[in-house]
Structure 1
Amino acid sequence: MTLTAALRLTRPNFRLDLDLEVAPGEVVALLGPNGAGKTTALRLLAGLTRLTEGHITLDDQPLHDLPVEKRPIGMVFQDYLLFPHLSALDNVAFGLRCQGTGKAESRRRAFEWLARVGLEDHANVRPRQLSGGQAQRVALARALVIDPRLLLLDEPLAALDAHTRLEIRSHLRRHLADFDGATVLVTHDPLDAMVLADRLIVIERGQVVQEGVPADVARRPRTDYVARLVGLNLYRGTAAGHHIKVDDILFTVTEHLEGPAFLVFAPSAVALYRTRPDGSPRNLWQATIDGVERHGDNMRIHLDGPISAAADITPAAVAELDLTPGQTVWASIKATETHAYPA
């Protein structure tokens, strides 16, 4: 492993307890709600906050006792923190100058990196004249020009508008693919995490609650936060064969399980009816509409009842069924649209 760390920090009403391993060339994303400890973990790795206990080892060398300037780390902050009085070129060259590299050599290497991020024509431009996407690329070049062994990215795309974010995410992915050190990314955006990261670590209240490759985490969430993040309804119940009991509802599923289990289904899999549907459909329950809101091209119906659930249906279906808050409806899901796995 390029990076192995046992990050322990104790504060009043909060404790971070995170073990982290990142291989050469691997991108690990830390996900979690506000206050979970993601940025704190990044600051501990960078040396901006001191460990209460634990260790940080990079390329078999201990880092936790080294001052910030001695750590072979590049960092891109959420607001980039470019020096307003320096040109883009001198911003990129700043880290090299701090390492003792001569001015001419620093500027030469900085210009090479500006060219790599497509900003060689902006070498003499100051930060206030750069767009958000350009500033992000300057910050990335500044972090990588020093040849770090560890790259830390703190919400690197959060300050960008949706269109720019799409473009810069693609650029960032290419640069991360070429980086042979370890990368730790903090983000609130599940799409950023899915596109940029090789592995996800989900933190809640300072503890790891789920870890795995993006596809596995998205397919099998283990907490309500992760389920909301990937857009699934999640429940914990008890399985017996092809049935899972969640509260007072008995769901039929395709998987065969025994004991504690999670049940998930997509909001788009939920069918709504004003009256009980004919026949004996499985996975059927009665609910009250708690709210209706626009969700992309569809409408999201929030259901309250034996279980709370989200259902996505078309605006035409909302009008046809005349759905409004407070109404009682029947909700149904096909067994093939539900998925279960051990809790």
Structure 2
Amino acid sequence: MTLQSNLTVHIGSFTLNAQVDVQPGSTLALLGPNGAGKSTALRALAGLRPLTGGVVELGGRTLDDPERNVFVPPEHRSIGVVFQDYLLFGHLSAVDNVAFGLRARGMRKREANAEATEWLDRVGLAQQARHKPRQLSGGQAQRVALARALAIRPGLLLLDEPLAALDAATRIQIRAQLRKHLDEYEGATVLVTHDPLDAMVLADQLLVVEHGSVVQAGPPAEIARRPRTDYIAALVGLNLYRGVANGVSIKLDDGGVLTTAHPMDGAVFVTFPPNAVSLHKNRPEGSPRNTWLAEVAGIEQHADTVRVRLNGTPDLLADVTTAAVAELSLTPGQQVWVTVKATETHAYPI
């Protein structure tokens, strides 16, 4: 079933506006910081948060339209939900948890348990069918919750931070398994997350929400390559600036000038990755065309490199090796020369 919705939700002084369109067999991720409105959107789609404006349609059926006084209760929507904390029934076994939705829809216990057992087998938990939630690991509980949501064969699957409760090692394994199950699922999926890796790996399309509004939408690769807000740039690990281009020269809004390899004109964004930055004790000579003096504001370990935060015109992040930190004797307050090759920058229209 295709999901089409135009959401407007008011909660006190908070307003959410989002246009959501998901085709069968595809996954849309709502990505954004805490408080951006992601979970509010998911709850509105599920019918747990009635709309104050807009409309929700699933497979051509109107689920929520306040102007026409239409509201379909959650239990009558063809929607499966996996909540962040899974919300399994503690007194029920894994198989009874999965069978719960089937029995609520009128299926007899024997048939419901047989189908629930099949779903547990699909997610690799046939041996844990009689286990209670307290006997399951976090990854196992997540898979039981997913099986419960899919067992009712919903037209729409909603995933609310489905990997957030897992430790780092388990998350890698479960993320790969979840991608496989989503590929096999024929309905539409909406995933809510603040983790960019979850969004990039699991989703076909991204909707980035900030302050209750959509700020960017498109395929993950395109958004990673051309971020349009500081939040997105930070997520994908890029330095991002706004400015006005005149040929290969870009005058930045916050001060400074950057040179790019390809001429443009008008308002643009310009990005480059932290690992494209070189730091020097003395002003370098040679090919780099972007050179300026900056002050070290902070140093922290970042994955297998060291991330250096620099104040200058413009400010920026640089990723360097531990050896480079020692060689340059980098400390907060120290001044260093920054270079970025023009060919390492990427400019695109605002």
TM-score in same-fold range (> 0.5): yes
Q: Give the distance between the partners of 1:291 and 1:236, measured in 2 at CA.
A: 23
The structural deviation recorded for 1:251 is 1.3
Which residue matches 1:275? 282
Q: Give the distance between the partners of 2:287 and 2:8, measured in 1 at CA.
A: 54
> Structure 2 matches for 1:57-68, cutoff 5 A?
57-64=57-64, 65-68=71-74
Q: Residue 219 in 1 paired to residue 231 in 2?
A: no
Q: How many residues align structurally?
A: 343
Q: Give the distance between the partners of 1:279 and 1:173, measured in 2 at CA.
A: 47
Q: Residue 170 in 1 paired to residue 176 in 2?
A: yes
Does the aligned pair in 1 maintain the 2:248–2:264 contact within 8 Å? Answer: yes
> Structure 2 matches for 1:121-270, cutoff 5 A?
121-246=127-252, 247-270=254-277
**Deviation string for 1:165-205 (max 9, x for gaps)?**
11111110011001111100001111111110000000111
The structural deviation recorded for 1:11 is 2.5
The structural deviation recorded for 1:254 is 1.9
Q: Residue 284 in 1 paired to residue 317 in 2?
A: no
The structural deviation recorded for 1:13 is 2.1
Which residue matches 1:21? 21
The structural deviation recorded for 1:279 is 4.3
Does the aligned pair in 1 maintain the 2:98–2:151 contact within 8 Å? Answer: yes
Q: Residue 118 in 1 paired to residue 124 in 2?
A: yes
**Deviation string for 1:24-69 (max 9, x for gaps)?**
1110000011111000000000011110111110000011211110
In terms of mean alpha carbon deviation, does 197-206 or 12-21 score higher? 12-21
Q: How has the CA–CA distance of structure 1 residues 281 and 195 changed in structure 2, closer, same or farther, with 3 Å as cutoff?
A: closer
Pick from 302, 316, 321 the counterpart of residue 328 of structure 2: 321
The structural deviation recorded for 1:10 is 1.5
- What SS class does the counterpart of residue 137 from structure 1 fall into? helix
- What SS class does the counterpart of residue 153 from structure 2 fall into? coil
Q: How has the CA–CA distance of structure 1 residues 248 and 51 changed in structure 2, closer, same or farther, with 3 Å as cutoff?
A: closer
**Deviation string for 1:301-341 (max 9, x for gaps)?**
00002121100000000001000000011101001111000
Q: Give the distance between the partners of 1:172 and 1:11, measured in 2 at CA.
A: 32
How many percent of aligned residue pairs carry the same amino acid? 61
Q: Residue 89 in 1 paired to residue 90 in 2?
A: no
Which runs of 5 or more residues in structure 2 are unaligned? 65-70
Q: Give the distance between the partners of 1:240 and 1:252, measured in 2 at CA.
A: 10
The structural deviation recorded for 1:281 is 3.6
**Deviation string for 1:134-176 (max 9, x for gaps)?**
0000000000000000000000001111111111111100110
Q: How has the CA–CA distance of structure 1 residues 280 and 174 changed in structure 2, closer, same or farther, with 3 Å as cutoff?
A: closer
The structural deviation recorded for 1:249 is 2.3
Which residue matches 2:67? none
The structural deviation recorded for 1:255 is 2.5
Q: Give the distance between the partners of 2:76 and 2:176, measured in 1 at CA.
A: 31
Q: Residue 334 in 1 paired to residue 341 in 2?
A: yes
Pick from 104, 108, 111 the counterpart of residue 114 of structure 2: 108
Does the aligned pair in 1 maintain the 2:300–2:307 contact within 8 Å? Answer: yes
Q: Give the distance between the partners of 2:175 and 2:345, measured in 1 at CA.
A: 32
Q: Give the distance between the partners of 1:113 and 1:160, measured in 2 at CA.
A: 21
Q: Give the distance between the partners of 1:11 and 1:134, measured in 2 at CA.
A: 35
The structural deviation recorded for 1:12 is 2.5
Q: Give the distance between the partners of 2:288 and 2:197, measured in 1 at CA.
A: 35
Which residue matches 1:46? 46
